[in-house]
Amino acid sequence: MISKEKIRKRLYNEFIKPTGEDKNYIGVEIEIPIINLDKKAVDFNVVHNITEKFKNEFDDFKYDGIDYEGNAFSLKNPKTSDIVCYDCSYTNIEFAMGREKDLFSIDERFTSYYSFTKEAFEEFNHTLTGMGINPYREYNDNTPIPSERYLMLYNHLKTFKNYENIPMHFHRYPEYGMFSSASQVQLDVTKENLVKTINVFSKIEPVKALLFSNSIMLGKNNDFTCFRDILWQHSTHGINPHNIGMYDVEFKSLNDLQSYLESLNIYCVMRNGAYINFASMNLLDYFTKQSVQGELYCNGKYKKTHIKPSIDDIKYLRPFKFINLTFRGTVEFRSVCTQPIKDSMCVAAFHLGLKENLDKVEDLITNDNSIYQRGYTAGELRKLLIHKEIPAFFDEKEIYELSKDIVDLACQSLENRGIGEEQFLKPLYERIKKHTNPGKDLIDLMNNNTPIEKIIEDYGEI
């Protein structure tokens, strides 16, 4: 049995200690659905062909991940740290941009990579588009990339049928990681500012739902503009609600934050280079076990195995919070859906701008009564505001006025940087003006009989 003191120390070293000097670096990751315009499954041979074409075009990229069948699923540029890879499946491409001091450098390289890749796919009547849920998901062969991590992850998500005695409802889409896409931002945060950053950004998740929602489960539930939230919440990742979504607590200190980390569940570790997944359980409970039974992928199937918990297993603790701490010492914001491609940088601009205006954002929220101070937590508010229609007991005009005040604070900080990054916030001002977001727009377009092919094309334009 491993002592709680040893666990606390390791959690601190893994998640909190890496935060240090704020160097103002920005990291951006954009996942994008791949679509076969013939309304058939994405042709994986086309995907592999284009991966090789990309490597030949951008010859600084090197192989970074090869699947069990010998195909590359990740390429990395060692000079910029940019990674072009496939997330969960070969139906979802990701552009993970190496850290930079400014958004223009990131945008320039992303535009170059995306434009080349999209044009290459279109030669095979495939394309890319900016949506948080693949609109052609039902045509796809939603199978995981045949690699250690993604096979383990899919196996874990499929185990929802094994949890019969817990009070939660599971959806029936364990493959959701293969058809849902996010736009993530990583920012440097000092240890001194870590608690405030998490507290304040957690409180504005309802506003982010209003501004950024873009995940429509077409044909299943068109009422939700951010169905991604539901997919995470009602999966095996959500067995412990502390592992996903909102914090919904206000941390008073780093000690509070560390206690929250102790409340998380663990569900996988590695032994001898192989992933083993097991029944999701609280981290502290895990370390009281002499042995844990799990499943190991071997020769095309899973077999039972037993492991002895080790303190080093903390490195495999994988929460999927809206705001995550990373081993790099950054804070990762991951609640935003992939945006229409031409608006991609508005996500990073929003978070980067607000990072320097936390006190003013907090004041706005504290003094607001349009949605806050109405008897709802921030988490409950987000659940209300991922619906297409805002509940009638809220004043829609007032809510969007609050949203504008918050975006204004982001704009103010970006203007102070003096390099023009505030231009990336323009799409948000347009949405505020029209009381909409990309998800609402998509639903309206579909209701007005706009062909889905036209929407895919428009949302994919750079």
pLDDT value at residue 327:
86
Q: Using 50, 70 and 90 to split pLDDT, how confident is the model at 99?
A: very high
What pLDDT, on a 0 to 100 scale, did the predictor assign at position 221?
A: 78
What pLDDT band is residue 250 in, cutting at 50, 70 and 90? very high
pLDDT of residue 355: 96
Residue range 105-114, pLDDT digits in tens: 999 999 999 9
Strands 244-245 and 320-321: parallel
Residue-level pLDDT at 357: 95
**pLDDT tens figures, 40-75:** 999 999 999 999 999 999 999 999 999 999 999 999
Is the separation of the CB atoms in 317 and 270 below 8 Å? no
443-462 confidence digits (pLDDT tens): 999 999 999 999 999 999 99
- 277, pLDDT greater than 80: yes
Query: 36 pLDDT exceeds 90?
Result: yes
Q: How far apart are CA 372 and CA 343, in angstroms?
A: 28
Which letter, b or e, does each residue of 391-429 get, where b requires 16 or more Cβ atoms within 10 Å of its Cβ? eeebeeeebbebbbbbbbbbbebbeebeeebbebbebbe
3-state class of 296 per DSSP? strand
> pLDDT tier at 220 (50, 70, 90 boundaries)?
confident
- Averaged pLDDT, 330-353: 98
Position 249 pLDDT exceeds 90:
yes
Q: How many CB atoms lie within 10 A of CB 285?
A: 11
The residue count of the chain comes to 462
d(CA 392, CA 132): 26
Q: What is the pLDDT of residue 195?
A: 97
Q: Report the pLDDT averaged over residues 377-405.
A: 96
Please compute the mean of the pLDDT values over residues 156-164 and round it to a whole number: 93
Main-chain dihedrals φ then ψ at residue 247, nearest 5 degrees: -85, -45
- pLDDT over 90 for what percent of the chain? 93
Per the CB < 8 A criterion, the answer to whether 79 and 73 are in contact is: no
The pTM score is 0.96
Q: What is residue 294's predicted lDDT score, i.e. its pLDDT?
A: 96
Fold for 21-143+160-249+320-460, please state it: Creatine Kinase; Chain A, domain 2 (3.30.590)
**How confident is the model at residue 379, as a pLDDT?**
96
Please state, in angstroms and rounded to a whole number, the distance separating the CA atoms of residues 91 and 195. 37
Q: Count Cβ neighbours within 10 Å for each residue of 198-224 and write b for 16 or more, e otherwise.
A: bbbbbbbbbbbbbbbbbbbbbeeebeb
Q: What is the pLDDT of residues 117-132, one digit of tens each?
A: 999 999 999 999 999 9
Per the DSSP assignment, residues forming a β-bridge with 95 are 30, 84
Is residue 278 a contact partner of residue 305, using CB atoms and an 8 Å limit? no
Q: How does DSSP assign 333-395, residue by residue?
A: E--PBPPPGGGTTHHHHHHHHHHTTHHHHHHHHHT--SSSSSS--HHHHHHHHTBSSPPTTS-
207 pLDDT higher than 90 = yes
Q: What is the pLDDT of residue 182?
A: 98
Average pLDDT over residues 334-338: 98
Q: Per residue in 296-327, pLDDT tens? A: 988 788 899 999 999 999 999 999 999 999 98
Mean pLDDT of all residues in the chain?
A: 96
| pLDDT of 21 strictly over 90 | no
| pLDDT of 22 above 80 | no
Binned at pLDDT 50, 70 and 90, residue 409 comes out as very high
